[in-house]
Amino acid sequence: MMSLAYHRLLDVLGGLAAVLVFLVMMGISVDVFTRYITGRSITWMFEVSEYALLYIPCLGMAWLARESGHIAITTFVEKCDPGVRRGLLLSTTAACALVCGLVAYWGAVVLADRIARNAVSIQAIEVPDYLIYWVIPFGFGLAAIEFVLQLWRGPCEQKDESNGMGGDNGLV
């Protein structure tokens, strides 16, 4: 039950990140068109796009890790024997879990500070800082959990048959 809820959460967050990409694309297009027609841009569009560019990777990174959709340079790894390859998979996955965990911790510290100081970001629109920063510990925390789960499940070699390349990180 918990596993299903976790996977559905990652699916929803990945979908939300995709929707945000689309909305940013449409918003910037409308802003450019408006600027061309009227000579004035939409005042808040740049700022909203900045926030979306923080939310998109933070909301989607755990889903992307689960789907093994991250970029991997496999030239060196493919030349290694299976034992070395397995060790590299374990060590890079552990490093990813550690780094994501550290960034989540740092983000939580910054978020707590922003909440304690009741900080507000004032540019074109006024936004409480906690609405900007909450997504950092949330997204990186979920990514750290996903990498730890991959370590727990253990690595196994898989190839993407369509192109003969390692299509995923080999962790199931």
Tokens representing residue 40 in the block: 């004035």
CB under 8 Å to 1, separation ≥6 — which residues? none
Task: Output the pTM of the full model.
Answer: 0.82
pLDDT at 159 over 70: no
Q: What amino acid occupies position 1?
A: M
Q: CB-based burial of residue 122 (10 Å sphere; 0-12 exposed, 13-18 middle, 19+ buried)? A: exposed
Residue 171: which pLDDT band, with cuts at 50, 70 and 90?
very low
The CA-CA-CA angle for residues 129, 132, 135, to 5°, reads: 130
The pLDDT score that the predictor gives to residue 80 is 87
- CA dihedral defined by 117, 122, 126, 128, rounded to 10 degrees? -20
Among 46, 50, 52, smallest CA distance to 34 is for 46
